[in-house]
């Protein structure tokens, strides 16, 4: 079946970086863009940006511009989200989601905790 | 601050009908960009509920429906059930941001 499986929980110190992976299966990876969404505990969904899995082009939300990098490995059908200069406010669940204009398949989420 | 405004909470008794609004502007919903709705049950990933304003993916009950008018959109849930208790988010594209965005989310409580 179509699914996105994300990497496991991470604990990072302030100022560090984290890289989350999202492995796709059950469909042709390059047929759909991959989007990333952050959700702090008890808070709303925040759109981070997306990557064209075919050509690697990216578009980032202004809020995360300069700190987030989206990449993909087409041979592994895997997308990656790297967030740098982590601060306590980045403690959140990060989701990948497949889609063009709407997001029909979501990963299970990856909890990132930023703590000294 | 979200450019798509939703009420923080709505509630209804089992069997009733509730609506959740999503108010945007001329750079998103008013510009004709589609609105999509997601349901997020506690502790789980969001799930696509309505795509392209009023389309239900396979498996979504017809108790859920979407509509748009001007710069706003609405999600209607009829025959409310206890299992509908969740957070609901609208999502659209905004031309001033040149990117997608989510509403602030609405918590539905089934009384």
Q: What is the pLDDT of residues B3-52, one digit of tens each?
A: 899 999 999 999 999 999 999 999 999 999 999 999 999 999 999 999 99
**What pLDDT is recorded for position A100?**
86
Residues in chain A with CB shorter than 8 Å from the CB of B40 are 45
Question: Which A residues 45-104 touch B at CB under 8 Å?
Answer: 45-47, 49-50, 59-62, 95, 97, 101-104
The residue-averaged pLDDT of A85-100 equals 96
Per-residue pLDDT at A37 exceeds 80? yes
A97 φ, ψ to 5°? Answer: -150, 135
**What pLDDT is recorded for position B71?**
96
Work out the pLDDT band at A91, boundaries 50, 70, 90: very high
Residues in chain A with CB shorter than 8 Å from the CB of B86 are none
Per-residue pLDDT at B107 exceeds 60? yes
Find, in chain B, the residue whose alpha carbon is nearest to that of A107.
Answer: B45
Per-residue pLDDT at A65 exceeds 70? yes
The residue-averaged pLDDT of B79-97 equals 96
**A111 reaches B (C-beta below 8 A):** no
Q: For strand A78-83 and strand A92-99, is the pairing parallel, antiparallel, or unpaired?
A: unpaired
Q: Do B46 and A61 touch (CB under 8 A)?
A: no
- Give the mean pLDDT of chain A: 97
The residue-averaged pLDDT of A71-75 equals 98
Q: Quick one: which of A109, A94, A14 has its CA closest to A47?
A: A94
Q: Name B47's Cβ contacts closer than 8 Å, sequence gap at least 6.
A: A106, B38, B39, B40, B41
**8 Å CB contact between A70 and A36:** yes
- Give the mean pLDDT of chain B: 96
B30 φ, ψ to 5°? Answer: -65, -20
Residues in chain A with CB shorter than 8 Å from the CB of B57 are 104
Q: Quick one: which of B2, B40, B107 has its CA closest to A93?
A: B40
CA distance, residue B101 to nearest chain A CA (Å): 6
As a whole number of angstroms, the distance between CA B41 and CA B88 comes to: 9
Hey, what are B88's tokens?
């609901």
The residue-averaged pLDDT of B91-105 equals 95
Q: Do A95 and B46 touch (CB under 8 A)?
A: yes
CA distance, residue B70 to nearest chain A CA (Å): 20
As a whole number of angstroms, the distance between CA B51 and CA B55 comes to: 5
Q: For strand B72-77 and strand B64-69, is the pairing parallel, antiparallel, or unpaired?
A: antiparallel
Q: Give me the residue from A44, A59, A102 closest to B36, CB to CB.
A: A102
**What pLDDT is recorded for position B3?**
86
Helix runs in chain B, H state only: none
Hey, what are A64's tokens?
């995360």
Task: Enumerate the β-bridge partners of residue A77.
Answer: none
**What three-state secondary structure class fits A89?**
helix
Q: Do B100 and A104 touch (CB under 8 A)?
A: no
Per-residue pLDDT at A29 exceeds 70? yes
Residues in chain A with CB shorter than 8 Å from the CB of B52 are 101-102
């Amino acid at each position: 079946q179509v699914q996105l499986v994300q990497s496991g929980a991470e604990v990072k110190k302030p100022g560090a970086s984290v890289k989350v992976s999202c492995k796709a299966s059950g469909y042709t990876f390059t047929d759909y863009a991959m989007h990333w969404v952050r959700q702090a505990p008890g808070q709303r969904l925040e759109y981070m940006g997306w990557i064209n899995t075919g050509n690697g082009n990216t578009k980032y939300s202004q809020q995360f511009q300069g700190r987030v990098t989206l990449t993909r490995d087409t041979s592994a059908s895997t997308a990656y989200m790297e967030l740098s200069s982590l601060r306590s406010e980045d403690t959140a669940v990060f989701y990948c989601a497949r889609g063009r204009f709407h997001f029909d398949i979501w990963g299970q989420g990856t909890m990132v905790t930023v703590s000294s | 601050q979200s450019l798509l405004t939703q009420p923080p909470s709505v509630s209804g008794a089992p069997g009733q009908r509730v609506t959740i609004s999503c108010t945007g502007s001329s750079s998103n919903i008013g510009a004709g960009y589609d609105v999509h709705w997601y349901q997020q049950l506690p502790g789980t990933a969001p799930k696509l509920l309505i795509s392209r304003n009023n389309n239900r993916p396979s498996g979504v009950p017809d108790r859920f429906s979407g509509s748009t008018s001007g710069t706003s959109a609405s999600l209607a849930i009829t025959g409310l059930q206890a299992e509908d208790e969740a957070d609901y988010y609208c999502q659209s594209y905004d031309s001033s941001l040149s990117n997608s965005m989510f509403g602030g989310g609405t918590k539905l409580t089934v009384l």
